[in-house]
Each structure stands twice: as structure tokens, then as C-alpha cells.
Amino acid sequence: MASVALNLTQKRLKTIIVLIPLLTLGLLVRLFYWQIIRGPELQTKAARQHQTTSLLKAKRGDITDIEGNVLAGTKNLFHLFVYKPQLEIPETELIEKLAVNIKQDPESTAEGDIRSYLLKRLTLDSNWISLKHYLSPEEKDAIELLDIAGIGFEDEYVRYYPEASMSAHILGFVGQDIAGEEQGYFGLEGYFDRKLRGRSGKIRTEKDAKGNPILVGDYQFLHSVEGKPIQTTIDKKTQYIAESSLIEGLAKYQASAGNVIIMESKTGKIRAMASFPNYDPSDFSKFDSSYFKNPNVAALFEPGSIFKILVMAAGFNEKVVTPDTVCDICHKPLVIGKFAIKTWDEVYHPNSTMTEVIVNSDNTGMAFVAFKLGKDKFADYMSRLGFGKKTGIELQEEVSGQIRTASQFGDIDLATESFGQGIAITPIQMIAAANTLANKGDYLKPTVVEDDTKEPTRTNIFSPEAVSQMTRVMIQAVEKGEAKWAKPKGLVVAGKTGTAQIPIEGHYDPDKTIASFVGFFPADNPKYTMLVTLSEPQTSPWGSETAAPLWFSIAKSLLL
């Protein structure tokens, strides 16, 4: 018996000797799991149970025009709260005093609504209660005069746009991201969101089981940092002229949409940029999202005949043609494979000079120039003029457009692109490229942000001789072309009309066009370069009868 008991004891000891390390190891593994792997998570959860963090919104930076007028600003409003332990008057009396000094919400119609709302808030099981957001300075002052103990205010900020929809596509708007945080979208608000919004501050305090602040508990305070302001190149008066004129033009020519860009020729600064239809950034949620993108930088179009000035300038620059070079293929349609290149009015001009090709807006003459240039040089000029890539203008939604490389060109592609069909570009790319002819052959990056510390970035594209030749040709196009009837007397303009069919599902709609005019003035010493486009005008499909007179009307207003 004694030996049996001894053996049993030894077995138990061996079992214990084995189990103790195993249990210890298991305990260590479990501790490692809870303290190392899950530790940070549990620590955060514990902190949330006895800590509260309040965000202090930073004031968003203003966006102003060139003269400092506010285009997008921030209203300083106030959040009203009560701390019950410090309240010295009955809650019913508090409600009565506050109700007569708080304005009704737009959806409320009776004072009883405010009283009911305040009563509901005060019945919450907490000592610190939020009573009302977004009080005006006048409401805050009126309530402070009541000298009620326990009442306090916090700063709140709301974005506002004093000019409503004016410059909407330049500005963008401020909404919320998926986390509910303030976020700028589109235009300048989107492009410079981080700079404009600054950095939010934080107040972290300990709280009791009911969620009330512990006054002697841990307290951390991080100041908010205001956002930086942005001064734009936009001139408010010029913007108003552009927008009001465009609205009138849309009605007069019954167009579905339209764009105007006015650039300062010598600097590349955008003085006005208008698009319709547009929206009110203060009430952006009431508009379809298709209105939010700026068509001047985000919508692709085929430019049509306004593109001819760039191809002809390239021909002059390469000296493959001169203004007096005679076109020997302009007497009939140009047949390329199964395609026929025709003039816009199917009237042909044998032995036209290059000047006459532009004046008559001759498609066969432009194909003549493109073939003289060749595919390699044609593609090189398109790239150097900024097509197929973003201009870098400070608007969030800009797109790059689409162009062919030299190896992708067929003969028919080269011919059609010479007169602005079969190429997809943005209006901002078009005006930036056209402005090289107003700026001694130098390409300037377009900008909507005023910055006198930086010199404009210049890239030379055309020689002074080529620019001089092209300017004289463009003056002739205005003086003798289809739009000569609309030009104001005494104003010398270098410009070109354009009419492009709209591609739809692989073919061109025969009844829908984009009418346009691009040019600069005064031609001998340009101050402004301007582009006007009208989509689907109903009174006439031609740029000479719609976009050109609108362009001249705006130019005349700018000089008054």
C-alpha cells in the first residue's frame, strides 16, 4: 500500500511539475496578448469611457479678388451651452429668457417651437448641455446682456459666399467628408483645401459616469490654427461683365451652355472665368452634381476653326509656308482614302494664299499646311503648346485632354486636326495656347492665384517673325471674315471664329455645334486674350453670328 501511495504521489508531482510551466507559459502568452497586442486598443477604449474630446474648428481662410473683396469668407457664429451646476435660475425662467432672444429657424414658425426645443434639451441627463448652434453675434450679445450664470458660448464658423453664384466654378464649395469633417470640393476650395482649412484645436477633459466634466481631472488644450487666405487674380468688375454678358448671350442666341475666359495677355493671369449653367456654392446641395465641375478646365471639346491659328503659326515658324504661300489643293475637296475634306460652306478658292485660307476659314488649306509640317512637327507643336496635359491652373478638377502622338497619326487624322476636329481639349488649354501669339511667342502658365513673388513661367514657342505674321493674318480675319459686321469701330482685334460639330456616339451630330471666338486686343499691344464658346446655339450654328458678336460686346465693355 505504501509503495502504491508513493507512486501516486510521484505521478502527481510530475504532473504538477509539467503543468506549472505550461500554465505559466499560457498566462504569459495571455498577458502578452492583452497588454501588448490588444493593449493600445483597450487603453483607447478605457480612455474614451472617462475622457471626452471636443474639437475647436479652425477659421477657414478667405478667398478674395485682386482688390481684396471677399469671394468666399467665414462667418464667426456661436454655440450656446449651459452648465447646470452653475445655473442659478429655474429652467423655466431660462427658457423664457432665451426664447425671446433666439431667432426662429427657417423651418420654424412659432416661438413655441423654440421653447419646446429648449425644454427638450434641458431634460437631457447631463450637467453640460448644448442648447443651440450657429447663433449670430447679435443673438450672442443679447443673451450676454441677460447675465445668466451657467450660460456660455463657443466659436463656430460657417462658410459663406457674398456674391452667391458669381465665380462659383472658380471657387468650388465646402462640404463634409465621410467622417463629417469640413472638406473643400472643386475649384480653389478643393485645390487649396489644406491651406484654407488650417488645423483644428482640441480640448480633452476627464468625465464622470454620467458624462459630466470633472473639473479637477486631467485637462489638455490645443489651440486651433486659422487657415491661410488666398488672393485670386480675378477682377470682380471684369467677372461681373463676363457673367452678365454670357447670360444675355445664352438667352439671345438660345444656347444650352457657354463659357468665357478673360486672360491678361502679358502675365497669364485669369481676370474672369465664367460658365453657365452654374450653381450657388452656399446651397450646393440643391443642385445636381453635374453642375459642380468647371467646364473651362474639366470639359473636353473639339475647338474647330479657332485651332487653325495655332497650326498656321507653326507653319510660319517652321517656314514651310508664309502668309503669301499659295495653296495648290484648295480648288476642290481633298480626298484622303474614303474620306473627303470639304470647306465649311463647300465653296472653294483656287490659289488661295495662307492669309486667305485663314480669312475664308478654309479646311483644305489647313490640311495643306499640316502636310507641309508633317506628323512629327505637328505632334511636337501640339505638345509644346500644352495640349494633352494639365496647364497647372489652381483648380482641383482640371483634366489633361487627349492628343495623338506622331506614330498614331494617319493622313486623315493630320488633316482633320489641322482644322480642330478629332482632337479633345479644354477651354483653358485653348486660351493658354492662343495667348502665345499675344505674348511674343511665349507660352505662359495660366493662373488664378495672385503671387507677385514669382515671375510667370515662360516657354518660347514661336519666333517674333512668326508671331508678327500670324497677328497680321488674324487682324485680316476679323476685318474681312464672316464676323466683320460685329467688330466695334476703332478697335483693332486679332482673332478667329470657330464652329465645330459635336461628336455623339462615334459620329458628328449635323444639327449641334459649338460656336467660338478667340482673340486678343488691342492687336498691336495686347491687354486681354479672350475665349468665348457657346454650346448648341439655336439662332445660328455659326461662331461668326453668335460667339463673335458676344466676344466683341464683352471687349467693348472692358474698354469703357
pLDDT value at residue 323:
97
Question: Using CB atoms within 10 A of its CB, is residue 184 exposed (0-12), middle (13-18) or buried (19+)?
Answer: buried
332/33 Cα distance (integer angstroms): 86
Which of 108, 99, 87 minimizes the C-alpha distance to 132?
99
Partners of 468 in the β-ladder: none
Which of 456, 454, 449, 453 minimizes the C-alpha distance to 61?
449
pLDDT value at residue 109:
40
Cβ atoms 523, 475 nearer than 8 A? yes
pLDDT value at residue 349:
93
Which whole-number Å values give the CA distances from 479 to 356, 483, 538, in the listed order? 12, 8, 26
Backbone angles phi, psi at 158, to 5 degrees: -130, 130
202/226 Cα distance (integer angstroms): 14
Segments in 453-546 forming alpha helices (H): 464-480
pLDDT value at residue 380:
96
pLDDT value at residue 108:
42
Backbone dihedral region for residue 172 (phi beyond 0: left; psi -120 to 50: alpha; all else: beta): left
- Reduced to 3 states (helix: H, G, I; strand: E, B; else coil), residue 465 is helix
89/84 Cα distance (integer angstroms): 10
User: Hey, what's the cell of 528?
Assistant: 486681354
Give the tens place of pLDDT for each residue, 160-185.
999 888 999 999 999 988 877 889 99
Partners of 533 in the β-ladder: 259, 516
Delineate the domains of the chain, giving CATH numbers in brackets. 53-231 (3.90.1310.10), 236-281+293-559 (3.40.710.10)
H/E segment holding residue 318: helix 308-318
Which of 502, 535, 503 minimizes the C-alpha distance to 516?
535
Angle at 178 between CA 284 and CA 188, to 5 degrees: 45
pLDDT value at residue 180:
77
Q: Is the pTM of this model over 0.85?
A: no
User: Hey, what's the cell of 11?
Assistant: 505521478
Largest CA distance in the chain: 132
H/E segment holding residue 205: strand 201-206
Which whole-number Å values give the CA distances from 537 to 163, 307, 364, in the listed order? 28, 20, 26
- Listed as ranges, residues in the chain with pLDDT below 70 are 1-8, 39-56, 104-112, 202-222, 505-507
